[in-house]
Chains A and B, each alone.
Chain A
Amino acid sequence: MDGLLRKEMEMEMKTLWLAGSRRHKGSLAGIFVLILLLSVTILTVLTVWQNAGRYVHDEMERLGFGKITAWVSGVPDIERLTDGIKALPEVERADTQPVIFSEYEVNGQKSDSEGQLVTYEPDKYPYKIFTDDMTGYQTGNARIEQGEIYVSPSLQSMFGVETGDEISFRIARNSVVKSFIVKGWFEDPFMGSSMIGMKSFLICGQDHEEIVRMIAGAGIDALARDGYMVHIFQGDAGLSTAEFNGVLNGGTELLQYAEFTHSDSAIFGFMLTLQNVFTGLLLAFSLILTGVSLIVMGHGISSAMERDMADTGILKTIGFTTKRLQGVQELLFLSPVLWGMVLGSLLAVPAAQAVSRMTLTTTGILLPAGIPKGLCLLAMLTVFLILAGFVYLKTARIEKITPMKAIRRESREREGIRAGERTRLFPVCQQGLGFWMALRQLVTGRLRYMGVCLVAVLLVFFASLIGRISSWLGPDGEGLMDAFNPSDLHIAAQPMGETTIEDVERLIRSYTGITDQYMLAMPGVTVEGVDYTANVITEPERFHMLEGRTCMGADEIVLTEFVAADLNVGIGDTVQVSGGLGTLEYRISGIYQCANDMGANVGLSREGYRKIGRETSNMWCVHYFLEDAGKQAGIMQALDETYGGDVYLHENSWPGLYGILSAMELLMYFMYGIVAVVVLVVISLTGGRLLIMEQKDLGVYKTIGFTSVRLRFSFVLRFGIVSLAGAAAGVALSTLLTDPFVAALLRTFGISNFSSHMTVSNTLLPAMAVVGLSVAFSWLAAGKIKRCRLIGLITE
């Protein structure tokens, strides 16, 4: 008997649920679309974030990247060096991987960082080789013939490299080069990202031996250097990276031969910089979307409950309890949420695959697209619980609806009285009648427009935030250039051989005048036992300072925020700095900006460095400012053609920068697309609801002589005013919050100089886009006004 009763009740619930689904299909469809977008975004972002981290970590481990890897050259006896390292009790093991350091040229573009030629030894270092279409990996090992080379896919975004292109490595002066034909692509989890200037190349053993012979044969004319990557694994000592680095430097000859060293966490950070910045931004966007979804759901539920009020009263008279009626409403609104989540989870897989493919040439790695089930389930469960709790709270007022109250529509009457009190401030005037009418309707039904306003606030805030980041980046990435370069420059030249700096300047002056110049060198030093690159400068006042003052004195040093935090020191503290000549104490005079090596660098004046390090003839890179900066590209080309490998040249840019700018552009397009869909959904739902509620008023207006077009304008004007108010608040919010929010995010990547400002494109454009879309979509929604027949007034 109980079972039969339960079954009947279930049928009643099902009947009401189906009826509700038919009646509110518009609202439910809107919620479904939003939850679908939200789920796809969250799951894709989490998949990319989790998989990228896990995959890079696993690959680094698989390919034998130690706790610290040192790039060494000019080592007379590598076994002696590694034996010394292995002899330390803190070291578990040390492996060597032969490499050749050399500059290279591809497609007429010269690299601004050296490349490292790695011998392909699949048994020892099983690098993954991509299939030709780069959608997967080749099974089995690749066969690299002499003259063939495999490169990272990021070279495609950096230099436009395609298979079959030629890459030339400068081995020695007098045009001694070794050229290779690009045979295919390999995945480099250490240096694959376009954020990293230095790139690895896979070649065969014979070519490696040939280059070593060429270097040896070139003698002092050699430009390339043969060396090793020394992967050093820590034992059970449980030391921090800095402590382990200090032990290695103190107990071995490593410092003497190391060109640079990086910890596994630093490389991990370099490789994931792009993914982390973009997933961070997208996760923030997901939060905004969650807020928007709550607003839309709130709107949909209020609207449905208002329409169903009389029915609710009637259902109560026939015996439905509040609990059951609330249950039906919850079921009704959580159904599209569940469907959106299920479909979103299914679509997240191809979305993650697409992201992985699209970012391959920027990140250099093909991210696994498999959804991390635990994390994603947790995220979806959290979102669902938030939405379910919200639906419960919104539907709880069913309890207060008594049958007669519902049938008499008391709430609407009370609302009318309250609205009346509010509207006295806004008289309806003949001049601009449409505007005043719109304003009156807005004030009367302000809660109904609150959703549109809040959505506009959130969307404009985020779009403006992204716009501000984009403005900071600049059309040519000036923001990042400033972040990564310790000081400004137009072009920089570093003679490496017979060419003198006077030759270089003569050529520059044949194009345009040199307005200013200074010198910068980047030797390695250790600070408190930890290896860092030192930016040694002849004019310390040129450093990009963030706090304090620059290191004008010979006993002063400037640190990045990263180093200061790493060493737990601040302005005014002293640190022990070691170079080739010894160790001295330096006082920290300020914090400066240079995101190179994720911020792991320090700044010294020339005088300061001379006290602990030896100047060499070719360590200085001269930085020039040109009279006519527009001739920069031409001068760079001329210098390269004239002096070739004899002079190391670079600009205030790097090839990977354009990949980052493209990714940012893609992110903006994606978000504008989402913004358009969200605005469409919100306006359709709100507009549809208002049109239903105002059907009678619209009819009345028509009977006194309003045309459909005039009513439509008035309707659109309401949305225009509301979205404009929301957009203004969004702009204000982005002005207040962008800098602290984004600066905190970028600081984790060593970029401390983020500061945005308002421009037409970053502020007005997003605001106008949201207002424009609201107006356009409300105009479309208001098309129903024309079809609103006056006969409706008779049937009441």
Chain B
Amino acid sequence: MLSYTTRRLLGLLPTLFIIVTFAFFMMRMAPGGPFDSNRHLPPEIERNVEAAYNLDKPVYQQYLIYLDKLAHFDLGPSYKTKDFTVGELIAAGLPVSVKLGTAAMVIAIVFGIALGTVAALHQNKASDYSVMMLAMVGITIPTFVTAPILTLIFGVYGVDFLGMNLTLPVGGWQGGALRNMILPVTVLALPQIAIVARLVRGSTIEVLRSNFVRTARAKGLPAHVILLRHVLHASLLPLVSYLGPAVATLLTGSLIVEQIFGIPGIGRYFVQASLNRDYTLMMGVIVVYAVMVIGLNLAADLLYAVLDPRVTYKR
């Protein structure tokens, strides 16, 4: 297992190299540059600025310089957000996105598993159908619809419940205050709850039909013991494979939700950087995202091996 993990980690480097190379040249193929939107500068000054950022050199040289810096964990200065390096910007934005994403994922896992299992246990009954219908709704309605609606209800109109004022802020982060997190986390979690619930329902139904569950029933075990000890463990395995990439997506920030609620996460850098041709910031976000996706997929695979004793990773 150790050697497997090492090999997978080593395999990360070539993958990352390909991603960086591809992204670098793709971006340069797009028209425009980081300073095009500035007031017209005198040609000499423009040349000086470009020279300062090595933008006057041929693209392949810029690429090699970037690779060299990247190898030293230097993501470079941001072209547009003056006085900040890309590293500093990401260090400021990433924790916010991670906090938001983790909260949403935990909620999605807890509610998704619960709803999916309940639906599976009552297969083809009313409770099953209603859970699955809600899940379908959760998957099909995009976040840019749920976010404004929830904002309208809880933020703009406000809710008075038994004299308690449940009005929530419509945006802002305030250092991650609970009141500010409720709405964006809910919006992010809803479709994930739906996906997890459907996934868990399917695998649970399959496990409930398996021979070893029949054996457990033949042993005369109470229903809750069968469910917790024999069924859940096996039925959650497919979820682990799904969670790897899903967690990466949530942790690295949801563009739309961060934009709507004005949250200073890493997601908005994506949009801003690509619109502004802020090459280094864009590349930095891509690298962070790639490392997270690869790392979390590896984590999911290793977790799978821990949960299923039949899976061993050799070589």
Do A and B associate with each other?
A: no
